[in-house]
């Protein structure tokens, strides 16, 4: 047994949270799954408490999921966790780095600054400018700034005309405010999830879409398959994830007629795709990585 107290921040009862907590318990004898909705932050002391557990006294936390959905409230939870880092508790991944990916605009802006190829993208509050973007793209995906798995996304086609698209834009704006529009790209029925652990390439899986859905997400009927990525494609994924400093992540890549593009870098990454698509126990590998990092830090401190 390794004498470390490492908690998992996630959703109690969910497979990805529990499988990681199980692996950590097997190695350390300690199990703690933290639901952020029940965490208390004492601002005057910087202490975080979850029931009887004082998070500041842990050796580390692994942030598997911060919320079931992305929202400004999810970002607030990450800001609460930043006090742990300030108190010397190692977080996998850093809350400040995850926070950069909760908001779609901040995440893709970082990728664009890193010269990572993206679908053409326009961001505006102006309805007329949004209509101009739809006409320029021919077909566009309107995306909320806070969402995952294609939730809340709207397909807009220039051939539907200004009246129809204006109605859709106004309905979207009343709920989300800002227009984030990306050119609709032909996925060829699949997109890729490229998995990295500690910045090192692990595997690539494909999400093969259902014929009746415009996206390839698993919640829309997509299926995982193995994919043999070329060295050039792996380098693209490596460059994309290097825009952030994450312990574990998945880079979403599409192979389009005009070459590969990156949709996003995941704030948390998915264990299911690596397991079902590649046969790799990513949760176990992340556990091993976390323990090796903490062991190295302990050894360095004792020198």
What SS3 state is found at 3?
coil
Q: How far apart are CA 6 and CA 283, in angstroms?
A: 14
Provide the pLDDT for residue 285. 97
What radius of gyration, in Å, describes the C-alpha atoms of the chain?
20
**pTM of this structure:** 0.91
Question: How much is the pLDDT for 134?
Answer: 98
- CATH code of the domain occupying 6-96: 3.40.50.20
Which segments in the chain show pLDDT lower than 50?
214
Core vs surface per residue 107-124: b (16+ CB within 10 A) or e: bbbbbeeeebbbbebbbe
Q: Closest Cα to residue 64, out of 42, 41, 89, 32? A: 32
pLDDT value of residue 303: 67
Q: For domain 121-183, which CATH number applies: 3.30.1490.20, 1.10.3210.10, 3.30.565.10, 3.20.20.70?
A: 3.30.1490.20
Give the DSSP letter string of 109-144: HHHHHTT-----EEEES-HHHHHHHHHHHSEEEE--
pLDDT of residue 160: 97
Range list of β-strands (E), 227-285: 248-256, 259-265
Give the pLDDT of residue 148: 79
* pLDDT at residue 257, rounded to an integer: 87
Give the pLDDT confidence score for residue 218 in this predicted structure.
56
pLDDT for the residue numbered 212: 55
State the pLDDT at residue 70: 81
Burial of 53 (0-12, 13-18, 19+ CB in 10 A): middle
Give yes or no for a contact between 48 and 54, defined as CB atoms under 8 angstroms apart.
yes
Residue extents of the structural domains in the chain: 6-96, 104-115+186-283, 121-183
Under 8 Å between Cβ of 181 and 140: yes
pLDDT of residue 42: 95
CATH class of 104-115+186-283: alpha beta
């Amino acid at each position: 047994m390794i004498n470390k107290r490492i908690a998992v921040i996630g959703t109690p009862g969910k497979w990805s949270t529990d499988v990681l907590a199980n692996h950590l318990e097997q190695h350390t004898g300690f199990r703690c799954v933290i639901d952020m909705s029940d965490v208390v932050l004492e601002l005057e002391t910087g202490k975080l408490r979850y029931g009887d557990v004082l998070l500041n006294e842990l050796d580390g936390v692994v942030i598997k999921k911060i919320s079931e959905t992305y929202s400004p409230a999810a970002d607030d939870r990450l800001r609460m966790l930043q006090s742990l880092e300030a108190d010397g508790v190692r977080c996998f991944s850093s809350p400040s780095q995850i926070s950069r990916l909760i908001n779609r605009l901040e995440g893709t802006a970082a990728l664009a600054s890193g010269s990572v190829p993206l679908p053409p993208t326009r961001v505006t509050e102006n309805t007329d400018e949004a209509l101009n973007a739809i006409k320029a793209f021919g077909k566009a995906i309107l995306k909320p700034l806070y969402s995952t798995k294609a939730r809340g996304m709207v397909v807009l086609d220039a051939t539907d005309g200004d009246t129809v698209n204006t109605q859709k834009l106004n309905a979207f704006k009343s709920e989300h405010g800002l227009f984030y529009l990306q050119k609709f790209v032909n996925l060829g029925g699949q997109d890729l999830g490229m998995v990295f652990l500690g910045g090192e390439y692990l595997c690539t899986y494909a999400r093969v879409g259902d014929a009746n859905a415009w996206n390839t997400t698993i919640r829309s009927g997509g299926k995982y398959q193995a994919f043999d990525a070329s060295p050039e494609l792996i380098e693209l994924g490596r460059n994309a994830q290097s825009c952030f400093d994450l312990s574990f992540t998945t880079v979403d890549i599409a192979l389009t007629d005009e070459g590969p593009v990156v949709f996003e870098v995941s704030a948390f990454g998915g264990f299911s795709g690596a397991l079902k698509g590649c046969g790799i126990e990513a949760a176990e590998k992340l556990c091993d990585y976390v323990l090796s990092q903490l062991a190295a830090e302990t050894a360095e401190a004792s020198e």
